[in-house]
Amino acid sequence: MGMLDGKVAVVTGSGNGVGRGEAVMLADHGAKVVVNDLGGSVAGGDAGDQRAADAVVEVIKSRGGEAVANYDSVADFDGAANIVTTALDAFGRLDNLVNNAGVLRDKMMFSMSPEDFDAVVKVHMYGTFNTMRHASEHWRNESKEGRQPRASIINTVSSAGLQGQASQINYGAAKAGIAAMTVIASLELARYGVRANCVGPGGFTRMVAMAMKDIEVKNPEDYTEFDAMNPGNSAPAVVYLASDESLHVTGQVLRLVGNNLAVYQPWEMGEQFLATDKAGNAAQWNPIDIGRILNRYHFRSQNPGIDAQRRA
């Protein structure tokens, strides 16, 4: 018995790299999988090649699993609807939506065109919204008909959005947005039996190869032993979040790179400071006092800063 027997999963962008590893492992654990991939280049904007999705379907079938291919673009609202429909038509249900599709157009912000920014946000953030929008409508209808789902959304994030990365203002903005959307989805969909979480993966992928020309990019299933750079290393977290073992987990952001598992902490307010007048009553902050308080109690430094030293 697999952890995902009887479940149906959609994995977007699963023709290569991280998504491919996730699709194959989901199938290994019993899920029937819709392998979605447009078949375009890493930069996007080109014609698709259906062979990417077809190849993964064949890999899954060769390992005893069930899978069908879908070639729609997540960036297209109607295309995203067809991805969901593919699962329902082929397997009669949908239990897991794994959003992994993405493109990359790295440039420093002063050199980035609006088209480069828009293209990346359109696929990552809009694409994630598009598939969630259609899947959530289906699950809501199922719940209203008395067929309460045990469904799971698993979105892909990156340290570029959660910690920052120069030259990726478009990609980072999209990934940070996806994390926020996921938390909100977990709040909106809980009543309908739907959980929403994120996974931050890593490894040698086609995207990484754009910046590191000398790396070897291999399919996740082709690694014969553990390798920290295998892009399939994040797949176990996806299997767990897709399974009923994680029914209590929602609104979380996991990071699984190599053999390192961590949980990102959401934005939270730190220590709070209150402005008062001499009588102790609430008062508006004086800008000078803000710097004094932050330097002393938050930054733990009395250094006036480089600019202040230069002016002195």
pLDDT at 217 over 90: no
250 and 296 co-located in one domain: no
pLDDT at 258 over 80: yes
Q: What is the mean pLDDT of residues 194-215?
A: 84
Residues found in the chain: 312
Q: State the pLDDT at residue 307.
A: 53
The model's confidence at residue 208, banded by pLDDT at 50, 70 and 90, is: confident
Q: What is the mean pLDDT of residues 138-163?
A: 96
Q: Which of 71, 171, 223, 240 is catalytic?
A: 171
Mean pLDDT of the chain: 93
> Is 275 domain-assigned?
yes
Using an 8 Å Cβ cutoff, are 264 and 163 in contact? no
Cα distance from N-terminal residue to C-terminal residue, the chain: 72
> Is 183 domain-assigned?
yes
Q: What is the mean pLDDT of residues 222-237?
A: 94
pLDDT at 287 over 90: yes
Phi, psi at residue 269, to the nearest 5°?
-75, 135
The model's confidence at residue 311, banded by pLDDT at 50, 70 and 90, is: very low
Range of weakest confidence among 123-127, 170-174, 204-208: 204-208
164 and 257 co-located in one domain: yes
Out of 246, 263, 280, pick the residue that ends a domain: 263
Q: State the pLDDT at residue 303.
A: 62
282 and 197 co-located in one domain: no
> Is 2 domain-assigned?
no
Using an 8 Å Cβ cutoff, are 174 and 120 in contact? yes
The model's confidence at residue 310, banded by pLDDT at 50, 70 and 90, is: very low
Q: Over the stretch 66-81, which tens digit does the pLDDT of each residue have?
A: 999 999 999 999 999 9
pLDDT at 301 over 90: no
> Is 224 domain-assigned?
yes
145 and 293 co-located in one domain: no
Q: State the pLDDT at residue 267.
A: 84
Q: Who's near 127: CB < 8 A, 6+ residues apart?
A: 12, 73, 74, 75, 80, 99, 101, 102
pTM: 0.91
Whether residue 171 lies in the annotated active site: yes
37 and 86 co-located in one domain: yes
Which residue's entry shows tokens 């090649």?
49
Q: Over the stretch 2-32, which tens digit does the pLDDT of each residue have?
A: 999 999 999 999 999 999 999 999 999 999 9
Q: What is the mean pLDDT of residues 294-312?
A: 66
208 and 293 co-located in one domain: no
Instruction: Identify the domain containing residue 156 by its residue range.
Output: 8-263
Range of weakest confidence among 36-50, 132-146, 189-203: 36-50
C-alpha distances in angstroms, 154 versus 11, 44, 199, 238, 296?
Answer: 9, 23, 7, 7, 41
CATH of the domain at 92: 3.40.50.720
Maximum separation of any 2 CA atoms in the chain, in Å: 77
259 and 282 co-located in one domain: no
Q: State the pLDDT at residue 49.
A: 86
